[in-house]
Amino acid sequence: MAMFVFPQSSKRFFGMMLALLVFILTASQATQGQSPVRIGLSATPLVSWHRPDNAAISNAGARMGFQYGMLVDVALNESGRYALATGALVTMAGGSLEDNTNLVFSVNDVNRLQYIEVPVMFRLTATELNYYRFYGVIGMVPGVNIRARGDRSYDPVQILIPAEVNRKIGNANLLNVGLEVGGGVEYDLAEHLTLSAGLVYRNGFVNIYDDGDNDKITLNHVALNVAVFF
């Protein structure tokens, strides 16, 4: 049975991110007594791709993906211009890889990955200008893999080695962590209804596949964040 691999370094990093989240929430409550919190829903199209560090393994193409879930902003000051942005998201991403380590044939993978993510980000919002508020975000996004499937083919020996369709990716690491940075704009549609849209880039830090060697393959993406806050 295929099993996910959970590296020890990733465990420590995930623990640090959870500790940071608890600290920020505790500090916010201690300084304000009762921090304003706003909750929203997001629907985010994205384009993701792999970045391998082995010259024999190359990125063979990007993949369209999607992200959705609940967002929570916790204000860190009275004006709400500085906030902790977190939530619970489901992210569907992936990409294509071409492995040329074998001298006889190449291995082509089209991978589809799914994560549950809890962002830990700082959100900085400018003062309102003509009913619009511009914002920037930066922070870490740890995620836990809940599904890893892919299609594998062999070139140029497809006749001798059948393609594997919708196969389980048994060497997918359980944890993924990336640095996300971006910005956008908000507009108030009503008293308790705000539309938010922005563009973000995520740079993956963690090797998402464990092949028993020192090779590292990270997962990056560019996303158009669209959300409604209530």
Phi, psi (deg, nearest 5) at residue 153: -135, 160
Q: Identify the CATH number of the domain defined by range 8-27+37-229.
A: 2.40.160.20
Which of helix, strand or coil describes residue 25? helix
More confident of the two residues 128 and 156: 128
Tokens of 4: 């996910």
* pLDDT tens-digit map of 182-226: 999 999 998 889 999 999 999 999 999 987 777 899 999 999 999
Percentage of residues in the chain having pLDDT higher than 90: 60
Give the C-alpha separation, 218 to 224, whole Å: 20
pLDDT at 97 over 80: yes
Span 99-117, average pLDDT: 90
* Annotated domain spans of the chain: 8-27+37-229
pLDDT of residue 191: 85
Q: Give me the chain's average pLDDT, please.
A: 86
Highest mean pLDDT out of 25-34, 75-84, 89-98: 89-98
Span 132-136, average pLDDT: 96
Span 8-12, average pLDDT: 51
Going 187 to 226 to 222 to 117, the CA torsion angle's sign is positive
pLDDT at 135 over 90: yes
